[in-house]
Amino acid sequence: MKLEEAVFGGGCFWCTEAIFKSLKGVEKVTPGYAGGNMDNPSYDMVSSGTTGHAEVTKIEFDPRTISYSDLLDVFWQTHDPTTRNRQGNDIGTQYRSIILYKDEKQKNEAERSLKNIENEKVFKDPIVTEIAPLEKFYEAESYHKDYYDKNIDAPYCQFVISPKLQKLREKFKAKLKE
């Protein structure tokens, strides 16, 4: 089985990791940093807003089970792509909405997906999602991995991530792992 990769940023990577690892065909989700201007950033550096990196997730998926296009649909519907450098109370460039493509095929699919969302007027405000080439992905520190699963009772998980997972279950039930 040849896995493919997608890299998205839709706010806090704790949220996006929990969302994408719930999907059939997704084999691995890794939180990390991308889109910035320094090598090997740490969480503290990225959180300062000075590195230019976004919190992102690298999604390794089986394209025979779930397509890149399906992942884009989930991406658009599980965060607010109309708020610049912010998702809810998470504010800063590290929380921006971003699609980082690995090749021209992904770039074209991301741009087509964006146009479709705009044409369908899914959101009342203009979409500010950045579409850019993936230059480097830096894996986040180990304590960020599986954050939701390890901290499900934490207030952030209950008040921010759980509602996003509920929305995912409502909109994409057929695509979820059992």
CA quadruple 178, 5, 31, 91: dihedral sign: negative
Q: Which two tokens mark 123?
A: 């959101």
- Annotation marks residue 15 as catalytic: no
Which residues lie below 8 Å from residue 166, measured CB to CB, with a gap of 6+? Answer: none
Only one residue has tokens 């369908």, namely 120
Other residues' Cβ atoms within 10 Å of the Cβ of residue 152: 12
Query: Which of 95, 104, 107, 6 lies closest to 57 in space, CA to CA?
Result: 6
Other residues' Cβ atoms within 10 Å of the Cβ of residue 112: 12
Q: Which of 12, 15, 56, 117 is catalytic?
A: 12
Q: Which two tokens mark 170?
A: 């409502």
The catalytic residues are: 12
